[in-house]
Structure 1
């Protein structure tokens, strides 16, 4: 009998658009190995090591742009209906609170959305910082993490998903540009969009956050 089993969990990222920009949502399914419950206590170290050595997998399973011109209250209804589907379970949702995202975050909270985490994009290139509302994180860390996960093969894009070709194009068009004060900015090329790649980056960011330690059922020798 295998000493490990696989847990599946869903993470969503929402990039809230301005009036003339799309609001995009990406949902990833995370598959990770964990020690099987009920194993003998003496086998727990081996099971734990095997789980750590088994690569985590990230599968992009939903990608969507909400049509331009959709009012924010209706966007909230669309997001709520999508993210409360039973198949997703207790989906962890990471939503951009920069600019117009803050009132959308508040409306989703009022609509009963649980496990909702805010993200505030900063110009910093340092590590993400925990905040009362969620996280503050630099755009460089967000997008670089997506690119790394794609290059290692852990992140897989569903090729039949609507807009996935646009997502790939956005990733190719993302550029780093130095500012006058010597810092770097990370944005889509002028005239291009980055809503899809940012929505995906929020979902990946959430999926790769450290998880709290959970208890494991073990059996002792009689």
Structure 2
């Protein structure tokens, strides 16, 4: 049923939803890869679409930026619309010198500087990890497509503009591959609800090298390797 954030009706979403942060990336992907596509949500400009890819029903919807935003949309997709799998397809900043612009990261787990997990009242620290079967399928697909990919940990941060400009380097020393802003909340929500989730990221900029960063339009329309892996495993 519709929510304050989603006008879609029951049955409008497929069992698997691809979630870019940017709703315009959702629009680009839907218009260029799906057949028989229809828009199912437009509340607050958070565009959502459902169509078919190679005969398989798939949905694509923006998540917005940050854990609170993806937390709302993923929770409602899982609980109100019967979605079983969410695959985040986002951008990230590299924290390792061997992780280059346009490389793809398949996130095995997510660290965080957020207090997101306090709501679960756990007697310790929750390790937010992706669903292994989705991860395994993504690795297989990336290999078949000869995509340069990395599997490992990312840091989902609450802060884009951090008062301590060197804070990210602490995560770098722990072997964390890249920084983004959503995966910890997505993985935690999926775990709490007994659902599945995965994050695929394309490196858009680097915090440890002088490689030129990608533009907003490039992030919207040219991160197709990651998008195609997600579509194939959806």
TM-score, with length taken from structure 2: 0.31
Larger radius of gyration: 1
Structure with the larger strand share: 1
